[in-house]
Amino acid sequence: MSFLLGVVIFIVAILISVILHEAGHFLTAKYFGMKATQFFVGFGQTIWSFRRGETEYGLKALPFGAFVRITGMTTLDEVDPEDEPRSMRNKPAWQRAIVMVAGSFMHFALAFVLLLFLAIGIGQANDNTTVVGSVSPCVPRSLSAFDKGSCQNNLGSAPAKIAGIRQGDNIVAFDGKSVQNWAQLGTAIRDAPAGVRVPVTVMRNGHRLSFSAAPATVPGRKGSYLGIGDAVVFQRSNPVSAVAFAGSAFGEVLTGSVSAVSKLPAALPDLFAKDRAKTPAGNVSSMVGAADIAGQAVASGGGWEYSVSDLLLIVISINIFIGAFNLLPLLPLDGGHLAVIFYERIRAWLARLRGRPDPGLVDLQRLIPVSVGVFVLLIGLGVLLMAADIFNPVHLVQ
């Protein structure tokens, strides 16, 4: 049930992202006086709509995205003579460029806002504290049993359990020495003499408590054993730190997205390999794969902070990737239309240098074969990735 919940939340989040993408185009077009006749969520048969002013808003039967119809986006569109002055193609190049960029901008803005919410509302995971995340019930009888977390045929209760140390305790001192992080605490425990009681100081619910524990020995394992595991603490940021975190995380995800796209050709042969997760193919997926990972993130448990944090990071990564990918200078992507606008202005500038008139808009009729080719390639790649995610999915836990 929790897996299905994660998938549903992911689907809704992506649908909202697509709606915001189209809203970016729609709002900027309206701001510049362009005529927008439709704004719909979904595709196919109209199931509900209403008209406000010159624009029809509504829902389609297939909720797989959204679209906005702006009059005269390209030279291929047929426009009534009375609407031509308000057509997109009749507007200045800088306005058309802003409308094209606005879709990706909305993805980037949403990702940045979600990163801020993650830092301020939930916090950043910090596993380098001295907070006890778990207390073992026993002393494992071997190194193998220790690695497996097995208490079968154990050597008795764990020293931490005997001493009264609990999950959530923050150990501030061990054997009379202050400890600031888990690495220091682990070293102090391993170096302590086995079987000899040492003082352990913890903070519990705001109170400072002292315990006495005698570390044990796990056969085959170096150092003494107390029987505690570390906890991941979510530390919330103030607004200034949150902005710094959001900027840094945004840059890391964007860099990772570019890297994933560059490695995609090399990843294709391993999409159906048994060890896909250990190859470059484990870092690429379709929306089907992303939804599956979102479901796994919720189903894996660990507390609501983990689930919400993981879901947000997945949605954030998807939005940054889509925003960047959509700006690639390839038709029919927005970046392709943006490249055409830049080409028109460069061509007009060169014409002025030669004392010739502005050649005007590019005839997109000539670019249809290129646009169709790119579209077919993207569809084919999407189908291949979906097939891999269905028949050879990547699991979070191996």
CB 128 within 8 A of CB 231: no
CB 154 within 8 A of CB 136: no
Same structural domain, 153 and 226: yes
- CA 269, 271, 277 angle in degrees (round to 5)? 120
In a domain, 210, yes or no: yes
Residue range 288-312, pLDDT digits in tens: 888 888 888 787 665 677 788 889 9
CATH number for the domain that contains residue 193: 2.30.42.10
In a domain, 219, yes or no: yes
CB 192 within 8 A of CB 224: yes
pLDDT at 107: 97
CB 155 within 8 A of CB 216: yes
Same structural domain, 298 and 327: yes
In a domain, 13, yes or no: no
Same structural domain, 213 and 282: no
In a domain, 204, yes or no: yes
Same structural domain, 335 and 257: yes
Same structural domain, 188 and 268: no
CB 286 within 8 A of CB 318: no
Q: How far apart are CA 78 and CA 191, in angstroms?
A: 80
Same structural domain, 209 and 264: no
Instruction: Report the chain's C-alpha Rg in angstroms.
Output: 29
pLDDT at 118: 93
Same structural domain, 275 and 323: yes
Domain boundary among 231, 248, 280: 231
Contacts of 77 (CB under 8 A, 6+ apart): 71, 87, 89
Q: How far apart are CA 158 and CA 136, in angstroms?
A: 6
Same structural domain, 286 and 390: yes
Place of tokens 């250990």: 278
In a domain, 369, yes or no: yes
Same structural domain, 335 and 375: yes
Same structural domain, 357 and 289: yes
Q: Which residues of the chain have pLDDT under 70?
A: 127, 300-303, 396-398
φ and ψ at residue 206, rounded to 5 degrees: 85, 0
Place of tokens 């209760």: 157
Range of the structural domain that residue 258 is part of: 97-124+236-398
Nearest to 7 by CA among 397, 282, 298, 304: 298
Nearest to 99 by CA among 155, 27, 41, 2: 27
Same structural domain, 218 and 268: no
Residue range 241-282, pLDDT digits in tens: 999 999 999 999 999 888 888 888 888 888 888 878 778 888
In a domain, 252, yes or no: yes
pLDDT at 300: 67
Catalytic residue IDs? 22
In a domain, 21, yes or no: no
Domain boundary among 203, 231, 259: 231
In a domain, 379, yes or no: yes
Give the largest CA-CA distance in the chain: 94
Handedness of CA 275, 388, 374, 294 (dihedral sign): negative
Contacts of 250 (CB under 8 A, 6+ apart): 108, 111, 112, 115, 320
- CA 265, 18, 305 angle in degrees (round to 5)? 85
Domain boundary among 231, 250, 275: 231
Alpha helices (H) along the chain: 2-31, 93-117, 143-148, 159-163, 182-191, 239-262, 264-267, 287-299, 304-325, 334-353, 368-391
Same structural domain, 330 and 198: no
This prediction's pTM = 0.79
Q: How far apart are CA 214 and CA 139, in angstroms?
A: 12
Handedness of CA 299, 304, 309, 315 (dihedral sign): positive
Tokens, residue 16: 């909202």
Count of the separate structural domains present in the chain: 2
